[in-house]
Amino acid sequence: MSCCAPGTEGALEFEKISHGLPTAEELWLSSRELGNGLRQTDLSVPKVYCGTCITTVEQALKKSPLVTRARVNLSTRRVSFVWKEEANGVRTNPAELAALIAATGYDAHLFTTAEEVNDAYRNELIRAVAISGFAAANIMLLSVSVWSGATDATRDLFHWISGLIAGPVLIFAGRFFYRSAWGALKHGRTNMDVPISLAITLSYAMSLWETIHHGPHAWFDATVSLLFFLLIGRTLEHVMRDRARSAITGLARLSPRGAMVILPDGAREYRPVEDIRPGDRIAIAAGDRVPVDGKVISGLSDIDMSIVNGESQPVAAGAGDMLQAGTLSLTGSMVVEATATARDSFLSEIIGLMEAAEGGRARYRRIADRAAQYYSPAVHLLALLSFLGWGIFGGDWKEALLIAVSVLIITCPCALGLAVPVVQVVAAGRLFQNGIMVKDGSAMERLAEVDSVVFDKTGTLTIGRPRLTNLADTRLDRLALAAGLALHSRHPLSRAIVQVATEAHDFAEVSEKPGEGLEAVTPEGIYRLGNRRFACPQDADSAAEREAASEVVLSLDGRLLQSFLFEDMPRPGAQKTIASLAKSGFSSIVLSGDRAPVVKELAARLGIAEWKAALSPRDKADYCVRAGEAGHKLLMVGDGINDAPALAAAHVSMAPATAADIGRQAADFVFLREGLEAVPLAIEISRRAGRLIRENFALAIGYNVFAVPIAIAGYATPLVASIAMSTSSLIVVVNALRLNRLARLEEKRQEDKAGSGLPANASFA
Amino acid sequence: MSNLIILIPVALLMGGLGLAAFLWSLKSGQYEDLDGAAWRALDDGDDKPVT
């Protein structure tokens, strides 16, 4: 295995790694059985974006006789295809089908199977919107006739028809509010849905009573159009969360679904991770992630731990070493004995820490709920007072009841119910356009309060990939030799050499020594590329161990030909991001699991004064908890498994798309682009959204200041109520849309600014 | 008054038809992939890209 000529197997392996294609076993495990020997597989294809992409991917799959159906969903960036389990007695290899997609140039990978239940809930909401919309339109039609002068029997008829339409709609579309209001009341709390439920129920009951008694005023139109508006808000909010979630689950799954278990009799069997027991022996090939904690029995490899503990440099591991679940074997294959089940592995320890840390976030109350806390008692008190007032001073208790109910209807928080979701949906749309996914609206509210930003180092401030730093004083022929050797390895340093090389020398045979480097025996001598001790054994002692930078040496028969120096590349725009955060008054802190010299060097380069190194996952989470207790609102930006507890503990958190699965789940925001500019942008948009929400509240309350006296005075007719409610809702929506306009103005200003600095570029921008 | 007996049911029926059509389209999955549908409308299915 250690020797691999650039033959078919090696090339295929390389292909697999570069495209991140799932293995055949993983595809079998994740596919759904449809019966009749058919199976369905859903893969995420993140790069499809246009009509041609759809055709290309679908055609590529349909060309195979094994595929019976293939359909690309452009909105969720997924392809779903149905394939035959076996053809002509040969068991299908689904990896070949995935390779068909990869051959067209689109990456395809498995995604974490999210609860598809949400889809059903979304459809329920849309159905409720449609039905209440239908009812609202029809009742409004009838109400307009009443307002324009229908009287006596005609009016009664119209009221009766309206009531018949509104009744079922109230139950069908109103259940979302009733359920939520009941849930809140049961726990002794109150939320926005309590006054809403009360208003729609009372207005319906009163209208029915009026109708029976041939009264002139019925409020059916108010009841149903209220439902209609509020359901639109609720649906928008849900769709926003759905879209973000499907974009996040569409990202490649990093943790393995299963592993190749070596049975006692030597046979190999692919088992799902959950079925691996302590004592099982697992074969880990180069490029595999370790599925559970284990001890190495045989084999040697370089282990990439960056996602587990933030360590940027791979560590060599051999027989007897312990491996943590989630680490990646880079160079060699090993046999590992599982020491824990997946449930007890390192990852579960992290999950435990996360659950313990999540208290702060659960305690956060949404701004709408905080408003409802004051709003609903005030409104109910007001209605009670007008009832008592009119009853005592007016003497007519029936009249008093009518007025009290009309107060409730007119103060029903329609605009208030729309004030928050509409702004947040618009803001989430803006973030989405910039490649930032928001999990829910409360995340934006929390982000707007942040005062300092905590960064993880490896994979967050840096790309997590080393970059050759001494390219300028490297001889090109030496670089070509090194690239020829490096082609045969997936070690990150080798990859970095290949990436910058323009040509590669062709070696007939290259072998890889895990933990040491690569070697090629040629007529000119033995070429070696690797650490100094391996490449130049005689001057290994004289070579000082470098701390901050890592080094790879190319040698011929032990003579040094060229030394290559590397360092981890900061994310594009990292320096500018830190500077702009500092300018807006945020303090930045680096929390890293990596060694102190590396962290210090990077912090100094990016201009971050405060840094902490060699932290355990618990230390990071504790730091966030302590900061929270001290009254600071932290934004944690991190990607690794070791950051997950801190991501959960911080006031609000962000993760890049390259983060570990668990990190992405823990984070409130996930940004898909490589640059770090997403951080200040998300803060900026969230703050602006927060401002608009407060404006909307002011508008909605201002409307009440005008409308309530009219209702208390007894002048609120259904016509007045519906005009007032619709205008206040429209004003709130229009105000929310200003977010788009503000952002566009800002963009224009920035373009102008960039234009004055770079006139040549700007003319084409 | 008497024409209302006909007009109101007709209005409700037509609105109801629209509602039923919408609910059917929702159920048959026509809103699953709005972005894709926009592109598929342009695909004639006969002019394959030159490879």
pLDDT digits (tens, 9 = 90+) for A624-645: 888 888 888 889 998 878 888 8
Is B18 an 8 Å CB contact of chain A?
A: yes
CATH code 3.40.50.1000 region(s) in chain A: 434-463+571-686
Contacts of B16 in chain A (CB under 8 A): 134
CB–CB contact A75 B26 (8 Å): no
Its sign, for the CA torsion A483, A308, A324, A547, is: positive
Pick the CATH number of A465-568 from 3.40.1110.10, 3.40.630.10, 3.90.1150.10, 3.40.47.10: 3.40.1110.10
- For the domain made up of A434-463+571-686, the CATH class stated in words is alpha beta
A625 vs chain B: nearest CA distance in angstroms? 41
> At residue A696, does pLDDT exceed 70?
yes
State whether B22 and A130 contact (CB < 8 Å): yes
B9 touches chain A (CB under 8 A): no
d(CA A421, CA A689): 10
**What pLDDT is attached to residue A440?**
77
| A596-622 pLDDT per residue, tens | 888 888 888 888 888 888 888 888 888
Of residues B15, B31, B33, nearest to A137 (C-beta): B15
Q: Where are the alpha helices (DSSP H) in A448-570?
A: 476-486, 492-500, 532-535
Domain boundaries A258-288+290-344, CATH class: mainly beta
Contacts of A392 (CB under 8 A, 6+ apart): none
Banded model confidence at residue A300, pLDDT cuts 50, 70, 90: confident
DSSP-derived letter for residue A2 is -
The shortest CB-CB distance from B15 to any of A52, A54, A134 is to A134
Sheet (strand A301-304) strand order? A315-317, A301-304, A328-329
pLDDT tens, residue by residue, A711-720? 888 777 778 8
pLDDT, mean over chain A:
80
The pLDDT value recorded for residue A273 is: 80
User: Which residues lie across from A303 on neighbouring strands?
Assistant: A315, A329
Establish whether this prediction's ipTM goes over 0.85: no
How many Å apart are CA A710 and CA A721, to the nearest integer? 10
How far is residue A304's CA from residue A331's CA, in Å, rounded to a whole number?
10
Contact predicate A310/A620, CB 8 Å = no
Instruction: Express each pLDDT in A325-361 by its tens digit.
Output: 888 888 878 888 888 887 777 777 777 777 776 655 6
Question: Highest-confidence range of A121-130, A245-254, A400-409, A438-447, by mean pLDDT?
Answer: A121-130
pLDDT-derived band at B2 (thresholds 50, 70, 90) equals confident
Question: Do B32 and A75 count as a contact with CB atoms less than 8 A apart?
Answer: yes
Over 60: is that where the pLDDT of A735 sits?
Answer: yes
DSSP 8-state secondary structure symbol assigned to residue A292: S
What's the pLDDT at A170?
92
The neighbour count for residue A339, using CB atoms within 10 Å, is 16
Range(s) of chain A covered by CATH 2.70.150.10: 258-288+290-344
Instruction: For residue A651, give the nearest of A670, A664, A672, A668 by alpha carbon.
Output: A668
pLDDT band per the 50, 70, 90 thresholds, residue A18: very low
**pLDDT of A76 higher than 60:** yes
Instruction: Give yes or no for residue A547 having a pLDDT over 50.
Output: no
Q: Residue A358's pLDDT is what? A: 64
Beta strands in A132-277 (DSSP E): 258-262, 268-272
Please report the pLDDT score of residue B1 as a whole number. Answer: 63
Residue written as token pair 């806390």 = A373
Closest CA to A483 of A500, A466, A464, A508: A500
Check whether A130 has a pLDDT greater than 90: yes
Per-residue model confidence as pLDDT tens digits over A20-60: 577 777 788 777 778 788 888 888 887 787 888 888 888 88
The minimal CB distance from A134 to the residues B19, B33, B35 is found for B19
- Strand, coil or helix: A294: strand
pTM score: 0.76
| CATH 3.40.1110.10 domain position(s) in chain A | 465-568
The answer to whether the Cβ–Cβ distance between A73 and B16 falls below 8 Å is: no
Put simply, the answer to whether A54 touches B43 (Cβ < 8 Å) is yes
Least confident of A122-126, A168-172, A218-222, A347-351: A347-351
Supply angle C-alpha A245, A250, A255, rounded to 5: 105
CATH number of A13-103: 3.30.70.100
Angle between the A718-757 and A397-411 helix axes, to the nearest 10 degrees? Answer: 20
Confidence of residue A671 (pLDDT cuts 50, 70, 90): confident
For residues A379-406, average pLDDT? 85
Q: Which residues of A carry out catalysis?
A: 456
